[in-house]
């Protein structure tokens, strides 16, 4: 097995050098990321997503690109990194995903070694697989999605991805994309194995501020089994969404909704002390100290640093209780 992997690396390196000598836009300075990916839109929310896994370090730093109100991109195989920003720019100027892919591929002398997929804000998907991409390499374009892969163990991977996407329309787009990638791995995945993965989700509408651009931005750069880890991080993300929703509910004076949201987060991660702690703070701030005290005590017993933090909160206005009640809390 080690001998096979070593030979595969040599072949890749030779290909790398060959293309570098024979294409103006492709050189051995460009990265390569043999991988499988999906670009897709949620038909209900309109959200756009790109998901990738590869046996290559930090695949999310070169393959996946996304911008709210514009689209998503996966540029892979022997990667042309310019396809990411250039593709988003063209789509932002009104070009469809299909038009953008064709413009970029036509202008690239290394096109035979490229694999490129895009999806625009209207949900139109398009993809391209160069004839010299390492087998098994193929792409499938469907309604609201495109799936593509190269250097796969077998020819089943991409069809399984398409089938899995189409069979799970009720899932939120992030969970749907992760499910597709897990199915790809189960079907055989990258012939070399697995190392990194990424999930990006953006809105199909422009955002007011740049920092609001990514709804979900998760990366696993180096892991023995990156997709289950990505799935776990997505669950953590959802739990903290519940926490944020609880905070917003408190701002609007809806304590019942706040406790419902905090409870949902806590149920997802019952061992997370921070989720319990801020729930207790919210209860104390809303005159429900009796309910808050057992939670504070549970947290303090496991980590007394939270006691010190509690002492610091009044100065920042994050806990609003009397001095007497604060003493009761910190002396539990």
Torsion sign (Cα): 100, 101, 105, 110: positive
234-264 pLDDT tens trace? 999 999 999 999 999 988 989 899 999 999 9
> Can you give the pTM of this predicted structure?
0.87
pLDDT at site 13: 41
The answer to whether 65 touches 118, Cβ cutoff 8 Å, is no
Q: Does 228 fall in a domain? A: no
Burial degree of 48 (CB within 10 A; 0-12, 13-18, 19+): buried
Residues 157 and 69 in one domain: yes
Q: Residue 92 corresponds to which tokens in the numbers above? A: 């932002």
Task: Examine the domain organization and report whether 62 and 208 are in the same domain.
Answer: yes
Angle, helix 83-92 to helix 97-106, in steps of 10 degrees: 140
Supply the pLDDT for residue 25: 38
CA distance 61 to 302: 38
Final residue in a domain of this structure, among 171, 191, 223: 223
| H/E segment holding residue 35 | strand 35-41
Is 251 contained in some domain?
yes
Query: Do 205 and 243 sit in the same domain of this protein?
Result: no
Please check whether residue 18 lies inside any domain of the structure: no
Domain count, the chain: 2
- Residues (pLDDT < 50) of the chain are 1-26
**Can you give the CATH number for the domain in which 324 is found?**
1.25.40.10
**The pLDDT of residue 137:** 97
pLDDT score at 29? 58
* Beta pairing, strands 35-41 & 64-67: unpaired
Is the same domain home to 184 and 119?
yes
Place of tokens 């000598």: 21
What is the model's pLDDT at position 11?
Answer: 41
Domain match, 71 and 201 both: yes
CB count, 10 Å around CB of 274?
13
| CB neighbourhood size of 45 (10 A) | 13
Q: Are residues 144 and 199 in the same domain?
A: yes
pLDDT for the residue 32: 63
Residue-number span of the structural domain to which 73 is assigned: 30-223
Q: How far apart are the first and last CA of the chain?
A: 59
- Determine the pLDDT at residue 1: 46
Q: Is residue 12 part of a domain?
A: no
Give the CATH number for residue 69. 3.60.20.10
């Amino acid at each position: 097995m080690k001998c096979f992997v070593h030979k595969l690396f040599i072949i890749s390196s030779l290909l790398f050098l060959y293309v570098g000598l024979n294409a103006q836009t492709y050189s051995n300075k460009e990265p390569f990321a043999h991988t499988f990916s999906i670009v897709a839109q949620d038909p209900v929310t309109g959200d756009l997503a790109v998901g990738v896994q590869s046996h290559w370090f930090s695949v999310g730093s070169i393959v996946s690109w996304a911008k709210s109100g514009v689209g998503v991109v996966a540029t892979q195989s022997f990667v042309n990194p310019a396809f990411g920003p250039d593709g988003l720019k063209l789509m932002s100027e009104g070009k469809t995903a299909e038009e953008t892919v064709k413009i970029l591929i036509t202008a690239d002398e290394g096109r035979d070694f490229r694999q490129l997929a895009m999806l625009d804000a209207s949900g139109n998907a398009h993809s391209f697989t160069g004839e010299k991409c390492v087998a098994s390499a193929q792409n499938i374009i469907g309604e609201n999605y495109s799936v593509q892969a190269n250097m796969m163990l077998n020819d089943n991977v991409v069809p399984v991805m398409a089938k899995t996407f189409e069979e799970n329309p009720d899932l939120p787009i992030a969970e749907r994309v992760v499910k597709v990638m897990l199915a790809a791995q189960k079907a055989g995945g990258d012939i070399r194995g697995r190392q990194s993965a990424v999930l990006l989700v953006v809105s199909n509408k422009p955002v007011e501020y740049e920092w609001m651009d990514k709804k979900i931005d998760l990366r696993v750069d180096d892991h023995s089994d990156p997709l289950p880890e990505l799935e776990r991080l997505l669950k953590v993300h959802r739990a903290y969404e519940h926490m944020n929703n609880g905070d917003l509910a408190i701002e609007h004076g809806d304590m019942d909704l706040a406790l419902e949201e905090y409870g949902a987060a806590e149920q997802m991660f019952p061992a997370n002390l921070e989720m319990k702690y801020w729930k207790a703070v919210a209860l104390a701030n809303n005159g429900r100290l009796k309910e808050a005290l057992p939670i504070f005590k549970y947290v303090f017993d496991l980590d007394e640093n939270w006691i010190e933090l509690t002492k610091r909160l009044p100065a920042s206005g994050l806990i609003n209780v009397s001095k007497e009640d604060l003493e009761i809390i910190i002396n539990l």
